Amino acid sequence: MIFDTHAHYDDARFDEDREALLKSMREHGIGHIINVGAEMKGCRNTVSLVKKYPFLYGAVGVHPDGAPEFDEACIEELRQMAGEERIIAIGEIGLDYAYMDELSPEEAERTKEIQKKCFAMQLALARELRYPVFIHSRDAAADTMEMMREHTEAAKAEGSFRGGIIHCYAYSPEMAEEYVKMGYVLGIGGVVTFKNAKKLPEVVERIPLTSLVLETDSPYLAPVPHRGERNDSTMLSLVAAKVAELKGITAEEVIAVTEANANRLLGLE
């Protein structure tokens, strides 16, 4: 069955029909879903959600947008939440430099340093807990790679490396290959179906299927022909079909292998 490795069902856009939608997942071929926290409130709601729905697992972490308010108290609460049943990863964490050109050079540099500190603290927590990480990176390729290399080397040296998912992968095929060599898998979602997606189809063609997982980022990034609509896990069959087309295999094979990849990464085999 389809394994959606990254969704945000705690989002307010699901408030009106969340329960009915989640209860319908199995009839749409969805086996498991990871609900991913992006800020502290979302992490708390994720803990509650996974207790209610046995096919949900959770990740807890703070997105770079929340870096200015992130502190040691947040780390302690994340540590406690990570110990809850069915919480299995730290994420989504990372760097996002998308709007730095709207800031002065000094403000942009200060913002980057704040994000890096938040990111480093959560990577250290993942090593402490021996958890995989779900990585957000937008317009921050070089700094993300540098910090991930440092994290990976430290984790492997201390025997705590659990890999993780480079969420919504958006960089070059060459960088994708580097992440795979380091021991990470790439999250592939609706963007692969977009007509203006240039690099991602090449990434999917070049990277072995055993290093890919499916994700929605619900309620964001719905695949064609639903682009611009609210996304949910039932649309992942469209992503699987596109990956299958690019790989020259069947959608059923894509679904089976990516499900196995997710189970192996997250220790759910």
pLDDT tier at 198, thresholds 50, 70, 90: confident
Q: Would you say 185 and 177 are in contact if contact means Cβ atoms under 8 Å apart?
A: no
Q: How many domains is the chain built from?
A: 1
- CA nearest 240: which of 231, 250, 226? 250
User: Which runs of E-coded beta strand occur in 184-252?
Assistant: 185-188, 212-214
Check pLDDT > 80 for residue 108.
Answer: yes
Question: How much is the pLDDT for 97?
Answer: 98
Question: How much is the pLDDT for 92?
Answer: 97
Q: Would you say 145 and 166 are in contact if contact means Cβ atoms under 8 Å apart?
A: no
Average pLDDT, integer, range 249-263: 98
Question: How much is the pLDDT for 110?
Answer: 97
pLDDT in tens, 227-251: 999 999 999 999 999 999 999 999 9
- CA nearest 112: which of 98, 124, 95, 135? 95
pLDDT tier at 19, thresholds 50, 70, 90: very high
Question: How much is the pLDDT for 269?
Answer: 77
Q: Is 142 helix (H, G, I), strand (E, B) or coil?
A: helix
Range of the domain at 20: 2-266
d(CA 223, CA 6): 15
Which residue in this structure is represented by tokens 């703070």? 62
Check pLDDT > 80 for residue 206.
Answer: yes
**Percent with pLDDT over 70 in the chain:** 100
- The count of C-alpha atoms lying within 13 angstroms of the C-alpha of 2, restricted to the half-sphere facing its C-beta, is 24
Instruction: Write out the two tokens for 155.
Output: 């984790």
The CATH number linked to 122 is: 3.20.20.140
Stated pTM of the model: 0.96
Comparing 162 with 198, the larger pLDDT belongs to 162
- The angle subtended at Cα 133 by Cα 93 and Cα 173, nearest 5°, is 90
